[in-house]
Structure 1
Amino acid sequence: MTFGFPEPDLIIFDCDGVLVDSEVLSCRCLSDVLAQCGIELSEHDTLDLFLGRSTAAVLQHYDGRLVPEDFLAALKAQVFQQFRRSLRSIPGVSGVISQLTMPFCVASSSDLDRVRLSLALTDLARYFGDRLYTAQMVARGKPAPDLFLHAAAQMQADPQRTLVVEDSVSGVSAAKAAGMMVWGFVGGSHYRSRDGRSMLIDAGADRVFDQMANFWKGA
């Protein structure tokens, strides 16, 4: 049993904010690139609007009218530059992953090349191989359940026997919509001045924790 639930057959990790401490970096880049397009959006508001969402969600939010054609390319270039300079893994996550005995994978709203770069820069790629699933692979990104259901299907796992580890409201909502157990993680730097615990519990998280050292311990 795991905190009153059956031991999962599969664990799905979100990437940004769960495996790597990237949310502040990426939201800062998004805010900067939007400013270059004449759109003022603070880092705080960027987190509120787009935490856990795909770049397609950004375009949809602005309805494609206010951002130039090279917006995504400019954003990607800035994010990659910032990641190469400053990205770090979440403390303790390597130790957790290395000791898992059940299958596990990644399901992220980020593009596949960004996920691969993030895992390579933080020496986590060796754990996941090609078990990487992204919003590019499904019709609807988080908070829709499509991505998590796709990952479970590819891993040949029952959604009801799947545990998701997420840091965002949209990710928690997606996991619950997929019929999965979900643990909210609030140990990323983007939650230092935010009440992430209440946010994720309100979204439906079955448990919330703030240190990877407590992954299998009390909340």
Structure 2
Amino acid sequence: MQRTELVIFDCDGVLVDSEPLAAAVLAEALRELGFAADEAFVYRHFLGKSVATMRRIFAEELRWELPADFVDGLLPRLQRRFRDELRAIDGMAGLIRGLNVPCCVASSSSPDRLHLALELAGLLPLVTPHVFSATMVPRGKPFPDLFLLAAERMGAAPGRCVVVEDSEAGVQAGCAAGMRVIGFTGGAHAASPAHRAMLEAAGASAIAASAAELPALLGLGEQ
């Protein structure tokens, strides 16, 4: 195993337990448009993917055109839900404080959503300014662009980066970037054996069910 130079965390479902909240808000908004959707549909099609990718999936695969102002209308609803219910994943703050290598965040979420989620969870001071959004690259996950950008900006070789991801698209992106990927199932949406199997099939080299399991899997103490 090469020496780890950088740990790259996804945000939603890894640092903050936001995926059930976001899925509920999105499914509700889609139903209001007359599109039959529930949280399971949202997870299946959009977990870990950017807004641009979501629009492409609707247009090309689902043959449904989202209104131009759909995302703008969605954000305030999501922000209200976050302010009422969002919490950090247990143990992540302590894990980040204890790392002996640099870390950053690379997420499919928009910068505004990222900033709010990290701020509400009390994690923003621990990762600022090293927060990267899929809006900064041409292609979102499962393409490697975002992780490669994060590594470049942080001055780390891709082969010496470790990614912590909760989604199939995120694991695929990390693997495509030539990075070691640890699948994370500590979020409320990811606890099932099926989710773990999905992450393993996507290429995760190990699975952590909690923040407490990550230090040993990161292997930083051996450096």
Scaled to the shorter chain, the TM-score interval is over 0.9
How many angstroms does 1:192 deviate by?
3.3
Q: How does 1:22-41 map to 2 (within 5 A)?
A: 22-41=18-37
Corresponding residue for residue 197 of structure 2:
198
* Ranges of 4+ aligned residues in structure 1 off by more than 4 Å: none
Distance 2:104 2:186 in 1: 20
- Counterpart contact for 1:37–1:68, Cα < 8 Å: no
Corresponding residue for residue 83 of structure 2:
84
Distance 2:144 2:52 in 1: 16
Tell me the alpha carbon deviations over residues 121-162 of structure 1, each in whole angstroms, 9 at most, x when there is no partner.
Answer: 011001111111111000000000000000000001100000
Distance 2:143 2:216 in 1: 29
Distance 2:100 2:145 in 1: 26
* Correspondence 1:111 to 2:110: yes
Calculate the TM-score normalised by the size of structure 1: 0.94
Aligned residues: 215
Distance 1:45 1:11 in 2: 31
**How large is the Cα RMSD of the aligned pairs?**
1.4
* Correspondence 1:6 to 2:2: yes
Q: 1:132 to 1:205 in 2, by over 3 A?
A: same
Corresponding residue for residue 213 of structure 1:
212
Structure 2 gaps of 5+ residues are: 219-223
How many angstroms does 1:217 deviate by?
2.9
Q: How does 1:165-176 map to 2 (within 5 A)?
A: 165-176=164-175
> In terms of mean alpha carbon deviation, does 94-103 or 66-75 score higher?
66-75
Distance 2:23 2:184 in 1: 18
Per the alignment, in what secondary structure is the counterpart of residue 116 of structure 1? helix
Q: 1:214 to 1:134 in 2, by over 3 A?
A: same
Identity of aligned residues (%): 43
Corresponding residue for residue 185 of structure 1:
184
Tell me the alpha carbon deviations over residues 148-199 of structure 1, each in whole angstroms, 9 at most, x when there is no partner.
Answer: 0000000011000000000000000000000000100001000234522111
Distance 1:171 1:19 in 2: 14
- Counterpart contact for 1:139–1:146, Cα < 8 Å: yes
